[in-house]
Amino acid sequence: MMQVPFIEIKNVSKTFISHKRKFEVLKGVNLDIEPGDIFGIVGFSGAGKTTLIRCINGLEMASSGSIRVGKYQINKLSKKDVNVYRQKIGMVFQHFNLFDSRTVYGNVAFPLEIAKKNKEEIQERVLKILNLVGIVDKKDFYPGQLSGGQKQRVGIARALANHPSILLSDESTSALDPVTSMSVLDLLKDINKKLGLTIILITHSLDVVKYTCKNMAVLENGIIAEKGSVKEIFENPQSNTAKVFIKHNAYLANAYFSGEGIW
């Protein structure tokens, strides 16, 4: 077992240079995430959510500041160590990113093949994980045969295969219908409970956060505008983003329940 995962993000900035222009996406982000938490990060499009999550698993290196995950100091890892580290971080994507050339079984086996596990080990683990996410009957199907919800279950199974200590979810339910989306979120909650996994959930939907997360942070133009428990923030939003989000939600709900309709 790995050391207790505890994510510590200190003063992280990230600047992209494109066409000789600088884009400051993150401007000094500070964030601590406790082990076993389901942590939500919300913000408008372009707030820097995806960049932040990509800095956590080393797909992007922070321009300045430091990120520590468990015993790993991300910005000091060599290329080889980054790959070893990433094998312990699962990631789930909005558009699933499954491999069309592999069956469901083959997709979930991929991270284990990368980690050079032997065949028996792989088979045992894959079947166990497919059982956990409830798609073991589809193991010989190709991704092209699955619905969105099923695809995301495969995506989650693939992310969990190699015993990660953290699961990063980048808008994992944004491409799904509300009912499927809820069942995927239920699955994430279930995994969190059963495996004690830390989950970081990026989303632009407050419903997702309200339904799933314990703690949350609001990202606004590359800085953390506020953070705290989901309950606190919903009861007393401080940041502009949170206020707009919550007001917008309430407006839609009011309009609906008052029978006036939205238009």
Shortest CB 101 distance to other proteins, Å: 4
Tokens 């890892």, located at residue: 77
Q: Does 224 bind other proteins (CB under 8 A)?
A: no
Which ranges of the chain does DSSP label H, i.e. alpha helix? 49-56, 79-86, 104-114, 119-133, 148-160, 178-195, 206-212, 230-235, 240-257
Nearer to other proteins by Cβ, of 25 and 89: the residue is 89
CA-based end-to-end distance of the chain = 55
**Region 140-179 residues binding other proteins, contact defined as CB under 8 A:** 142-145, 158, 162, 168
Q: Does 77 bind other proteins (CB under 8 A)?
A: no
Stretch that binds other proteins, among 30-38, 62-70, 76-84, 187-195 (CB under 8 A): 76-84
Tokens 């428990």, located at residue: 229
With a CB cutoff of 8 Å and minimum separation 6, the contacts of 28 are 11, 12, 13, 65, 223
Nearer to other proteins by Cβ, of 144 and 261: the residue is 144
Stretch that binds other proteins, among 12-20, 113-121, 231-239, 240-248 (CB under 8 A): 113-121
Candidate residues 4, 61, 84, 250; the one interacting with other proteins per rule CB under 8 A: 84
Q: Does 91 bind other proteins (CB under 8 A)?
A: yes
Candidate residues 39, 72, 105, 110; the one interacting with other proteins per rule CB under 8 A: 110
For residue 104, list its beta bridge partners: none
Q: Does 240 bind other proteins (CB under 8 A)?
A: no
Q: Does 133 bind other proteins (CB under 8 A)?
A: no
Write out the DSSP string of 137-171.
GGTT--GGGS-HHHHHHHHHHHHHTT--SEEEEES
